[in-house]
Amino acid sequence: MPLPVPPRTPTPPPDDRNSAFVFPSHPPDRDTLSPLVESFPLRNGSDTEDRNRLSPTRGSFNLSPDTAQQNGQTDNASSGPFNFQTTTMAKSPVVKSNIGQRRGHKYKHSSISHQIFLEPPPRAPLALPNSLPIPTLKECRASMSVDQKRRFWWSVCHMFVAAYTLWSAHGSLAMTALSHLILFDSLGALLCVAVDVLGNFEVWKRSSIRHPFGLERAEVLAGFAMCVLLLFMGLDLISHNLQHFLESSPGHEPHHEHAHERVSPGSVDFTALLAISSTLISAIGLRNHGRIGKAMRFGYIESLPSVLSNPSHFLTLSCSTLLLILPLVSIQLFRWLDVTLSSTIAISMCFLGVRLVKTLGSMLLMSYSGPGVSDVVRDIEADPCVFAVDDARFWQVHYGLCMANLKLRVSGSEENLARLRDRVSSLVKNRLGGGYGGGGQKWEISVQFAIEKA
């Protein structure tokens, strides 16, 4: 029996009204799409051509005659699908050209973003540079003047004096202590020359973002290292004196014999005079330890002349002068006087080293350790325009620069406040800086006023 034809489903009209598509009026044959029935029409041509039409071994893409002639090939030669041409690479370097290329889109150049992305206002250049070049050893040597070279070689000679004093101090503990003092003085002379040479460059005193106060704080760091060395040399002398005392005590047999025979009088006199002359030359000509002496004041020797008011020079010169007395005493008294003088010098070196380490350490920590701060604050509080001192900070940057920051609660007219500001500056400079022409440190003072309502 024939299969019933299903009812026809209504189909919406096509979008293209001019389309010539018409639904068939008779039902389609059920074997039309059967895989067992050959329903596809045959093309004109042989069966072999149809089988090889899509074969990967034959070229099914025909080139136009113009293209074939341009490439110098015929239809038979271009029958393969992979038709590659042999090319020769250029030996010359490829030059990249950016002509006609865009390197990216800048949002601020678009028409819409003109109202969104605004150009930042132009800024004035910084008053301080980011950093300044630090000179090398070769540049320092090239910038040295004749006077600086002379002072450098003298500091080297001062070191040779210290080495000669230590070499000739086999029979005297006092001469050994004197050699340590001369070594400390020679290092101070060499540091003065290095500071003078570095002063030839802009980075030494000019401020920058990397070094806000220049490189002058490096001198404080080098002086701190020298003071630590002086303290250790004093402790070494004390241990050596204790060892010598235990070896010379009765009933004690030392493990190692130490010969402490009396040194010849001529050697003592020559060494003492050499130490005095070298110390005076370095103190007057090079001004070694000059800045350390200003930073650390001793009230006992402050009234002495300029050379002797420095504790380092005073210790070296007094020790060298007392050495001239040793050849004039007897052998028994020589031993006791030599040990006593050596112990006194060692204790003085430790005391001086501790004071210097404390002073320079506080300077490295950006604080001020000098006297007179409480008196300055008391005088400021006594002014009738000042209600109270809220904050007062005094700190020292390096040997030549100190800073004072004060915050005051005041009341009065503009003239009285201007007078108060000048009075505070003069108080700080006169009490702490030594006054005008005193040769003290430079003070930079900033005062902030908080106006109180009457």
Domains of the chain: 144-252+261-364 (1.20.1510), 373-451 (3.30.70.1350)
pLDDT of 207 reads: 84
pLDDT of 286 reads: 82
- Residues 173 and 323: beta-carbon distance below 8 Å: no
Rounded-to-integer distance, Cα 427 and Cα 405, Å: 13
pLDDT of 16 reads: 55
- Residues 191 and 219: beta-carbon distance below 8 Å: yes
pLDDT of 71 reads: 46
pLDDT of 11 reads: 67
Q: Which tokens hold the place of 4?
A: 């019933």
Q: What are phi and psi of 409, to 5 degrees?
A: -100, 115
| Cα dist from 380 to 128, 202, 375, whole Å | 34, 38, 9
pLDDT of 312 reads: 85
Written as tens digits, the pLDDT of the chain (454 aa) is 667 766 666 666 666 555 555 555 555 566 656 666 565 555 554 454 555 555 555 544 444 444 444 444 444 444 555 566 666 665 655 555 555 555 555 555 555 545 566 677 887 776 777 888 889 999 999 999 999 999 999 999 999 999 998 888 777 888 889 999 999 999 989 999 999 999 899 888 888 888 888 888 899 999 999 999 999 999 999 998 888 777 776 655 554 544 445 566 667 778 888 989 998 888 888 888 777 767 666 666 666 777 777 888 888 888 888 888 877 777 778 788 888 888 999 999 999 899 889 888 988 998 887 778 888 899 998 888 888 888 889 988 888 888 999 999 988 888 888 899 999 998 888 888 765 545 567 888 999 988 887 6
Nearest-CA neighbor of 389 among 398, 380, 397? 380
Q: Which tokens hold the place of 299?
A: 């009230």
| Cα dist from 187 to 109, 180, 203, 310, 386, whole Å | 65, 11, 23, 16, 49
pLDDT of 272 reads: 86
The long-range contacts involving 142-147, CB below 8 angstroms and separated by at least 24 positions, are 143/197, 143/200, 143/201, 144/197, 144/200
Q: What are phi and psi of 220, to 5 degrees?
A: -65, -40
